[in-house]
Structure 1
Amino acid sequence: MNLIVPMAGKGKRLRPHTLTVPKPLIPIAGKPIVQRLVEDIAAVTPEPIEKIGFVVGDFGEETEKELLQIAEAVGARGYIFYQEEALGTAHAVHCAREIMQGKVTVAFSDTLFKANFKLNTEDGGIIWVKQVDDPSAYGVVNLDQDGVITEFVEKPKEPVSALAIIGIYYFKEGEKLREQLDYIIDNDVRAGGEYQLTTALENLKQDGVKFTTGAVDAWLDCGNKRVTVESNSRYLGFLGKNIISESAIVKDSVVIPPVFIGDGVEVTNSVIGPGVSLGAGSKVSDSRIQDALIQSDSTLKGVNLQNSMIGNHVNMESAPEDVSLGDFSEWKK
């Protein structure tokens, strides 16, 4: 089994947090989004992942090194592929054509999920879906009475289905996917001005590949500040317990589960939780924080925060209840 993770997007909706850190490396419950995704894919795959291809932009050597370590941690060999221009989902996946061999899973990096099933690798293809209230913003599928996908529709203006494609796909024969992507790129087949993966899926279906659906219990978005904070809280809930580093110091404080408290964190005279992640080296005193994502090496004193996201190396003394501050910011009363 090989895994392809397209992640070259700039994360504009999550600025200022993505000005210094690529969105897939923003931590959720103490681990980067992309690491959570890779680990969760590995957990539902009944056979080892051999190769993981990360499709990136200009993220820098340190980020690429971290991605290779994420692959190594699940027993796979990591590869870095570059998407220099954002030309659509099919183009992003095509950048990793080198490892489209045998069984292949494609998982877009801003997708986190909760599922209680094992991937059936004998199916020709599986598209993971979740029922949504407003399907107009997603690619959706229609099914026949046997649960086989009959149609792919990209962002339907009229309701045709409520089963949204969440961004995770399985192909029993990666070579067939590669052939279709080659055809789309070589012949400049675009939809809405971009090369769409749904075009390749439709062509594969017409070529005889039977796609079924894999339904997830929860689908977590990390597209902007609000939903990223919500996803952090929900993922902590999935873990079902406090995760507190042995090197953290919690003094004269109340910790309401679930929370994540990282290495070297100091919490004094505060109430933390529920739904809070405190990154390594951060210091919190005289504060009340709930449903918030605080990254590394930040200092918060006398704050009352909820539904908030704070970057790295932030210094905050007193603040409004709902805030989003990027790296190296200061807020003082």
Structure 2
Amino acid sequence: MWKTLAITFLISSLATALASPRTGLVPCDALAENDLGELVLLATDSGYEERLQTYWSVSARLKPWCIVQPRTTDEVSKVLKTLLATGSGAGSWHIAVRGGGHNHWAGSSNIANGVTIDLGLLNRTDYNEATNIASVGGGSLWNSAYEAAAEHGVSLVGSRAGGVGVGGFLLGGGNSYYTGQRGFGCDNVVNYEVVLPDGRIVNANATSNEDLYRALKGGGSNFGIVTRFDLEAFPAKDLYGGSRTITTNYTDEILDAVVSFANHDESEAADSFTPTFIYNTAISPDVIIDASIFNVEGARNSTGFNRISSIPAVSEDLGSRNLVTIAAASTVDGTSRQANPHLQILPAP
């Protein structure tokens, strides 16, 4: 009998120990205790630092108490419900949501004292030929989304750089090579699958949760976690264009070209022009201007680029390319330092 009691007590003690908090950090322990432990990376886990290193910007590599990596929409819901239960009121719910992790400022998709919900495993892209809709996971990068779409002969309105996350791009509006023709990236979203802060899973589109559908078109991650974007696809076609490298001696001419380009009418909507001032000693000891020009219909001699093409270039790399190739080549090395001022130029009234 005593042996039986001893064994029972030992098993009971072991079960209690296993159920005890592993870290003393309430949100992380709550996830583990709610059967989500296999999704959690603690600072002591080998995968924790590896995942932090995949943030594009060093500034964004904050160290959360733990990282949770849900694999399905249902798991995202369970994570939110679990974390909500650990809060004590407004302002106490310390979480961040990571999509692609491409933003360059601290706190954009990570948190130092809290839990980072990392959507990186929600990275599947499916295409429905009957509806012409591509369903893209909220943690996908544009490189993989473009590649998956290209297998079906279609393309998507997305980032110029393939390493950018689908979620951040679309929830921020999304400026692309196709903006003149097809609007912002968010204009091409026909449905959002969203996990609301209380854990409910809803779809937001033109006929269901219309207010949320409208708010998500540029509203960021303030209204919930988008786990899937349903995007209208279009037939894939090679673009024509590339880069012209110009010295800063022609800064005035470049600015004049920008103004001229902004005044074009809709007949030249297939043209895209992105001038960038770059200082990279691997390219040049001086600041240079990278004039990126593309025609999304593949036209080689678009008159929309006449002003830009007349400016002498140190070098140029122009040709016909598909979007998959362009996006892969356009991802900026994360070791670069960048400043991002923006100037809005509107057509004259």
Pairwise TM-score range, normalised by the shorter structure: under 0.3
The structure where strand makes up a greater share of residues is 1
Q: TM-score, normalised by structure 2?
A: 0.24
